[in-house]
Amino acid sequence: MLPDASSPPTMPTGTRLVREVLASSFLARDVEISILLPPGALAARPEYPVLYLNDGQDLERLHFQATLDKLYAAHAVHPFVVVALHANEQRVQEYGTAAYADFNGRGSLAGAYSRFLLEELLPFAQARYQASANPAHAVMAGFSLSGLSAFDVVWHHPEAFERAGVFSGSFWWRHRAVGAGYTPADRIMHGLVQARPPHPRHRFWLQIGTLDERNDRNDNGVIDSLEDCLDLIDALIMGGMDVNQAIRYVQVEGGHHHPDTWGRVMPDFLTWAFGQDGSTAALPAPLPVVRLHLDPTLVPAIVPPTAPAAATAPPVVLAPPVGAMLPPAVSLISHLYTPVMPISRPADGDFLHYAGSYINLVPEGTDPREALRTQTQAIQELFSGLTEEQAEKSYAPGKWSLKEMLLHQIDSERVFGYRAMRFGRGDSQDLPGFDQDEYVAFSGANSRSVASLLSEYEATRAATLALFNSFTDEQLDRRGTANGGPNTVRALLFIVPGHELHHLNIIRERYLPIL
């Protein structure tokens, strides 16, 4: 507990980390909590503003405590308490939108998670750590799926929280899968925002990285995560929210869906949420909310905690009014996602027997190119939620680590793509196989960071999509031999996503339970 007002003043020594475990009846589990208390000399108040942070198990990966210590040393933020909640293997069920699970049944415990926050966590933090019960002093934040969760809770419970911070939020959360009749109206959070106006005191900090993903559902040259966030901002504006006063949108050019990026922009968020007057005024203007405009010169240069305050705040560029003429879209990678015609499945004799198990994992009626696009997000979300130590674990002695499995997936995709390129070009000579265990043994995967592996995975997937989208139907039926047996380009197109689905199933069945 924080000391009372009679405690003698001491020199600030940095934030203090306290570990707690709170038994939740709503979640039927013990919730581990990391509490960060402000420096000693600042800790003599009856109550404190508070940040409730989802995915609190990632504080170290975010360099959160070191960042906060620098902000305190620079007198950039007011004292506040951080209550960081650790997720467990139920993460994809506890985070989401309380009103609805998504099309795949994920988020089934989001309602229980909201009740845990409101009825168990808040009373605990307020009683034991002097966290303010004033909603104006309570902020909730999260990352990816936990960012969606934070937004959802704040949106529906302004009596408890008035502000939310969302890093690379999963605003794609939807009622229907892409390719199964999906339309933009299926996005769950957008519908919830459109159903009621914002609270007058709602405030939102929203961040997206331009390399968060490579998916582009509607082939308009803008990645889905960026477009989903901007569409949500549009819905907030249509509901009456003042974009210049109530929304801070930070677009990070080259930013990834990863704690490395989120940690770099953390000073901007914490200064927005808890900044002292001078430091708040010195924040750079956020990238204007301009649809389809990705001008790198507009990216905000995040002010380091030790930077001197600017003499005057930079000018704010107003967003164009709804219906105004918008700048032309900047083409990013839309040429990668231009399917020409539906893809029929390969026939018997188009592939080696063992490859049939991969092909059969791609559901009937699914375009394998669409599967390749959507799997990218699944891989990103799965691996970005792991620590480096977790990603180096194997589920049994002698088995690959998760890093080794990811690099194996990358290597295999390159090999399959190379075979498809050769055969598609009419080169039907026999190509040798490869020893996957030898490749892994010499890969050095465990010495690399998760971020570097994910970057390589994204680049490989983009090249794979570009190649397969270039083939005509006639080219897809061209064949050759590899590893001593037949292969058509069409079969290889199905093998790539099927092989990845095979490994995703192994991760969920054998790795996640031990993590």
- 16-176+183-274: what fold? Rossmann fold (3.40.50)
Contacts of 51 (CB under 8 A, 6+ apart): 80, 81, 82, 83, 139, 140, 141, 270, 273, 274
Question: pLDDT at position 272, please?
Answer: 95
Question: pLDDT at position 289, please?
Answer: 56
- 353-514: what fold? Four Helix Bundle (Hemerythrin (Met), subunit A) (1.20.120)
Alpha helices per DSSP H over 362-401: 368-384, 388-391
Q: What sign results for the dihedral spanned by CA atoms 254, 259, 264, 269? A: positive
- The residue ranges of every structural domain in the chain are 16-176+183-274, 353-514
Contact criterion met (CB below 8 Å) for 65 and 59: yes
- Please state, in angstroms and rounded to a whole number, the distance separating the CA atoms of residues 353 and 144: 39
- Please state, in angstroms and rounded to a whole number, the distance separating the CA atoms of residues 268 and 271: 5
Per-residue pLDDT of the chain (515 residues; tens, 9 = 90+): 444 433 444 445 689 999 999 999 999 999 999 999 998 754 567 899 999 999 999 999 999 999 999 999 999 999 999 999 999 989 999 999 999 999 989 999 999 999 999 999 999 999 999 999 999 999 999 999 999 999 999 999 999 999 999 999 999 999 998 888 899 999 999 999 999 999 999 999 999 998 888 888 888 888 899 999 999 999 999 999 988 889 999 988 888 898 989 999 999 999 999 998 877 777 877 765 544 333 444 434 433 334 333 333 333 232 333 333 323 323 222 333 344 445 789 988 899 888 899 999 988 888 898 889 888 888 888 887 788 889 998 888 889 999 999 999 999 999 999 999 999 999 978 899 989 989 999 999 999 998 889 989 989 999 999 999 898 888 999 999 998 889 999 999 999 999 999 998 888 888 888 77
- Please state, in angstroms and rounded to a whole number, the distance separating the CA atoms of residues 117 and 138: 12
CA-based Rg of the chain, rounded to a whole angstrom? 25
Question: pLDDT at position 284, please?
Answer: 76
Task: Please state whether 365 falls in left (phi above 0), alpha (psi between -120 and 50) or beta.
Answer: left
The continuous run of DSSP H or E covering 127 comes out as helix 122-129
Identify the bridge partners of residue 83 per DSSP, sorted by sequence position: 35, 52
Question: pLDDT at position 331, please?
Answer: 29
Question: pLDDT at position 290, please?
Answer: 42
**DSSP structure class, residue 200:** T
